[in-house]
Structure 1
Amino acid sequence: MNSAEHVTTLITRMYRLAPGSVRPEVPLHQLDIDSLALEELRLILEDELRVDLQDANLTSRSTVGELQALVHEKSALA
């Protein structure tokens, strides 16, 4: 599973969403991921993928695709 698939799977599982609803162009807030939920998601991604997202500039207005790209970028640097 690549990092984008991992992000999608994690969001789908954590927030009990239909897999088709988690698309790259969808802002996180439309999936009911607020700033607190985003922090929780960040911590889990860091733990599961062994990446450092501490300096990530993400908000609930960021899209799933932006999160996927950031995780992919950080994974490539690790």
Structure 2
Amino acid sequence: MSNEFYLLTKPNCPLCDQALVQLHQLDLDEPIRLHWVDISQQPELLDEYALLVPVLVREADDAELRWPFGEQLMEFVTV
């Protein structure tokens, strides 16, 4: 099982900051590796996700959890 996750963000994104706070507040048995991805530096990602960030992507199966994360965040990162 991979514990690698990618948080798709862009500069000056208050929701992205809130998403990061939620991720840091999780009480996990096993830590996750979180990669911060600035979509403004990648035109193909910017086209697809500009109005959707923050988006959490699970590397193991490319599943996406879109904002607002809510109660499903814990389940998403522990699958």
After TM superposition, is the score higher than 0.5? no
Higher strand share: 2
Query: As a proportion of its length, which structure holds more helix?
Result: 1
TM-score (norm 2): 0.28
Q: Normalising by the residue count of structure 1, what TM-score does the alignment of the two structures yield?
A: 0.28
